[in-house]
Structure 1
Amino acid sequence: MARTDGGTRITFLEEVKSAVTTRAALLVIGVLGLMIAFITSYTGAFHHPKPDRVPLAVVAPGPAGGQLVRQLDRLPGAPLDPRPAASEQAAVRQIADRTIDAALIVDPHGRTDRLLVASGGGASLSQAVEAVVGKAEQARQRDVRTVDVTPAGPGDSRSLSSFYLVVGWCVGGYLCAAILAVSAGARPANGQRAVIRLTALALYAVIAGLAGAVVVGPVLGALPGSLFGLWGLGALIVFAVGATTLAFQGLLGVIGIGLAILVIVVFGNPSAGGAYPYPLLPPFWHAIGPALPPGAGTWAARSIAYFKGRALTGPLLVLAAWAVGGTAVTLTLATLRRTDGERADGEPGDEEPAGGGERLPA
């Protein structure tokens, strides 16, 4: 069928082309790809969690210790990565330093051993280690009693508050950057405008970091630990994610928002070690998680909340690298690229619509 518009006959195909432009169709296809990637990534990471080489200290007297380490190392599927420890105090110290996730303390005078875990680093991991060690101890005709040396807080029973806090900060970072970038064109027209946007992002990051830390701390009591430590971490996460988003947009325009979502949400969130810490994730997600902002942020937030700020250097360097890299790329692209229709004073011309969309006829 066809209709007339001011005397001009318009076919249905022309109506479709008018309603859905080629650019819009390509963006919809891109959204479909993101959706498929989202489903694949989350399902692939979470559908079959199992422990893989979980670091475990073994404290046992004499030759029995070495023999037990070898037995645990040969368990089917290699769920544990056992290593001897000189004493219970040494094992507890390694748990506090986050170099191991659990410790088995053998009682030489009885039949009940103790398994030390730290649910503050991930309740699902502690439960998985408890199940594996319990089965191994049963095969040795011994009992085991679990002792949580670093328990999650009363308002954080599953040790997930750190993860959700970091996810919120990441969402705030890329949404703020996206709004700043599309407010006057998807690509920064000059270096001055890029500096202003990065400065606005930095101010927002400071406020967002404080807001998140206050909500999970004094307001909800979900996380213990230093309020100022979480505040600083939150500001760094928000700025790192926002600067990365600005860099992607400077490189690819509006499509850069999709790339930011792909990196931070699709790949970053399921590999962050939130619901399932790293030793429970499949190899791909285990490998990429520590290098992405959600994973580095979740590890750092748990360290601040439950481990007195230990093992923070690596994650903070990762976040700093994203922040510095995003800033450098954003400024470099803004300096080198001049957008179409730019006026002499560096402002976009009247023909350039906000958001980098198609030009409208005069």
Structure 2
Amino acid sequence: MNAPSSTAPARALGTTPAGTPWHASLRVAVLASLAVIIVLLAFLWPSYTSKVKDLPLIVAGPPAATAQLTTGLSATGMFDITSATDREAAVVAIEERNAYGAVVAGPGGVEVLTATAASPIAAQAITGVAQKLAAQAAQQAQATGAEAPKVTMTEVAPFGEKDPRGSNVAVAGLPLAMGGMVGGVLVSLLVSGHRRRFGAVAAYAVIGGLALAAVLGPWLHVLTGSYLVEAAIMGAALFATASFIVGLHGLIGQPGIAVGAIVTLFLGNPLSGMSLPKELLPWHWGEIGQFFVPGASGTLLRLESYFPQASTTHGWLVLAAWSLAGLAMLWFGPHRDDHAAADTTTETAVETELLPA
């Protein structure tokens, strides 16, 4: 009679293996429910708590004409007013993304400049100002019997023809954040060795950046800037997110994957400013969001497509900082080769079992 295998589980005849205790099962259900609530709040909270405030707005024209405009606009509490000497200076400020729009006073009336590509919400608020100015001018003209001054609208930075409302630009930020997260998770779980992981992340960033730029640019025409520059931005964003997750995995092991995903998707993405102007978010969260990968990359893509005169230094520095942090954690982390060690242990165990006794 053959002796029972030492690897067989010791189990009494007629019994079934015990399942997870009920209290542990209930704890998992509660934790899962809390996770769903956190996910909902992460994406809903910014828009729910936002309000139109502190939007940078230029008021240009002769001091006598702009004084009354500045007083009236400041009283609304929606704008952060900056004065400019003339219309040309106001346009430069908008093109460099130092303001969302401008109100220019001149001899023939008032011209309101908007930049829908900077933010449709901000443009809508500034359009509302133009409508109020036109209504006030009509009332004054009716009361005095004089001709009402003209109030005209001019769009300085519109969206592309294929996406006139900018809805696709706002949505593009989520797949970019998720793409970096997915790449980091797959490399962490499927690739062994920190050098090979670095190579896999770099290759993924190059291929993914070229592919995503082709879809959002030449194919769907969501982005209208240089294809190669947009591919570089997307590749840098994918590399920054993926290397950060892989680096966390190398630093603290498996929990690093979850931490990296939370930072990217549930913190960085809602604060990115892709859907809402950063000024509308409560406290300083809008500014803080620009120091995360989704915020930096989203702003870079918007600037490349619609505001080529604006500075892009901040965005590139943020992406570089996240990439370097991820690589440092990967290179020097104590768990950088855990997956390779696990594979070696598994192969050794299988070979031992196959050897004859």
TM superposition shift of 1:273: 1.4
2:72 alignment counterpart: 71
Query: Quick one: structure 1 residues 106 and 317, their matched pair in 2 at CA, closer, same or farther if it must change by over 3 Å?
Result: same
Number of paired residues?
329
The CA deviation string for residues 208-241 of structure 1, in whole angstroms up to 9 with x for no partner, is 1111111111111222111011011011000000
**Alignment equivalent of 2:20, drawn from 4, 7, 16:** 16
For residues 254 and 26 of structure 1, what CA distance do their matches in structure 2 show? Answer: 21
User: SS of the counterpart of 2:194?
Assistant: helix
CA distance in 2, matches of 1:337, 1:245: 12
TM-score by length of 2: 0.82
Most deviating of 47-56 and 251-260: 251-260
Deviation (angstroms), 1:174: 1.4
Larger radius of gyration: 2
Equivalent position SS for 2:117: helix
Q: List aligned pairs for 1:47-62, cutoff 5 A.
A: 47-62=48-63
Aligned counterpart, 2:262: 262
Once the two structures are superposed, residues 315-347 of structure 1 have per-residue CA deviations (whole angstroms, 9 ceiling, x without a partner) of 11111111111111121104x77759949xxx6
* Structure 1 partner of 2:187: 180
SS class of match (2:290): helix
Which residue does 1:235 correspond to in 2? 235
What amino acid sits opposite 2:241 in the alignment?
V
What is residue 81 of structure 1 aligned with on the other side? 80
1:31 Cα offset (Å): 4.7
Q: Who is 1:94 aligned against? A: 93
Q: Cα deviation per residue 1:235-278 (whole Å; 9 max; x = unaligned)?
A: 10000000111122223433323222221111222211122221
Q: Shift of the alpha carbon at 1:33?
A: 3.9
Which residue, 144, 159, 176 being the options, matches 2:166? 159
Please give the per-residue CA displacement for 1:132-154, whole angstroms capped at 9, x wherever unaligned: 45436645657633211110001
2:36 is the alignment partner of 1:35? yes
User: Offset of 1:283 from its aligned partner?
Assistant: 2.7
Go from structure 1 to structure 2 and tell me whether the alpha carbon gap of 1:317 and 1:338 turns closer, same or farther (over 3 Å shift): closer
Point out the more displaced range, 162-171 or 139-148: 139-148
What is the deviation of 1:291? 1.1
- Deviation (angstroms), 1:170: 2.1
Counterpart amino acid of residue 346 in structure 2:
D
1:250 aligned residue: 250
Partner of 2:355: none
Superimposed CA distance per residue, residues 268-302 of structure 1 (whole angstroms, 9 cap, x where no aligned partner)? 22211122221233335313221111111111101
Q: Cα–Cα, structure 1 residues 295 and 143, in superposed 2: closer, same or farther, change >3 Å?
A: farther
CA deviation after TM superposition for structure 1 residue 181, in Å: 1.1
Contact 1:114/1:146, CA 8 A, preserved across alignment: yes
**Larger deviation: 44-53 or 137-146?**
137-146
- Decide whether aligned partners of structure 1 residues 352 and 284 sit closer, same or farther in structure 2, where only a CA change above 3 A counts: farther
In structure 1, stretches of 5+ residues that fail to align are 354-362
Q: 114, 119, 123: which one pairs with 1:122? A: 119
Query: Could you tell me whether the CA contact under 8 Å between 2:251 and 2:332 is conserved in 1?
Result: no
Partner of 1:358: none
Q: 1:105 to 1:326 in 2, by over 3 A?
A: same
Cα displacement string for residues 152-194 of structure 1 (whole angstroms, at most 9, x for unaligned residues): 001122224334333222212111111111126xxx7xxxx11
Give the % identical residues.
27
Taking structure 1 as reference, are residues 340 and 165 closer, same or farther at Cα in structure 2, changes over 3 Å only? closer
The alpha-carbon distance between structure 1 residues 338 and 322, as it changes in their structure 2 partners (threshold 3 A), is closer
- Name the counterpart of 2:224: 224
1:300 aligns with 2:306: no
Deviation at 1:310, TM superposition (A): 2.1
Quick one: structure 1 residues 340 and 329, their matched pair in 2 at CA, closer, same or farther if it must change by over 3 Å? closer
Matched-pair contact (CA < 8 Å) for 2:96–2:307: yes
Provide the secondary structure at the position in 1 that maps to 2:346.
coil
Show the 5 A alignment for 1:128-147. 128-132=125-129, 134-135=131-132, 138-139=135-136, 144-147=151-154
User: Amino acid of the residue matched to residue 118 of structure 1?
Assistant: A
Partner of 1:327: 327
Using the TM superposition, name which of 78-87 and 279-288 deviates more. 279-288
Closer, same or farther in 2 for the Cα pair 1:34/1:326, shift >3 Å? farther
2: CA distance between counterparts of 1:73 and 1:213? 41
Rounded to whole Å, the distance in 2 between the matches of 1:311 and 1:161 is 23
